[in-house]
Amino acid sequence: MKIATQQAVIIIRIIFVFSISLASDKRKVLANNFAIALGSSMTDKYDVDVSVPSGV
């Protein structure tokens, strides 16, 4: 279970890095808000770092 969670976090990070780097300003805000919501819900359950780099 823990390995699957780590893989999911890595995949999510890759997706967010690409989406944020290619996104327009509106999409960037949506992606950041989603990442914050996802991060807060995931860090409640798991001790993982799902922070997204801003200003890529």
Q: How many domains does the chain have?
A: 1
pLDDT value at position 4?
Answer: 78
pLDDT value at position 7?
Answer: 84
**Would you say residue 55 lies in a domain?**
no
- Kindly provide the residue ranges of all beta strands, DSSP E only, lying in the chain, ordered along the sequence: none
Domain, as residue range, for 32: 2-45
pTM assigned to the model: 0.33
Rounded to 10 degrees, what is the CA torsion of 5, 23, 32, 29?
-160
Question: Phi/psi class of residue 55: alpha, beta or left (left: φ > 0; alpha: ψ in -120 to 50)?
Answer: left
pLDDT 10s digits, 3-56: 778 888 888 887 877 776 665 666 667 777 777 777 665 555 545 455 666 555
pLDDT value at position 42?
Answer: 53
Cα–Cα distance between 19 and 33 in angstroms, integer?
13
**Would you say residue 28 lies in a domain?**
yes
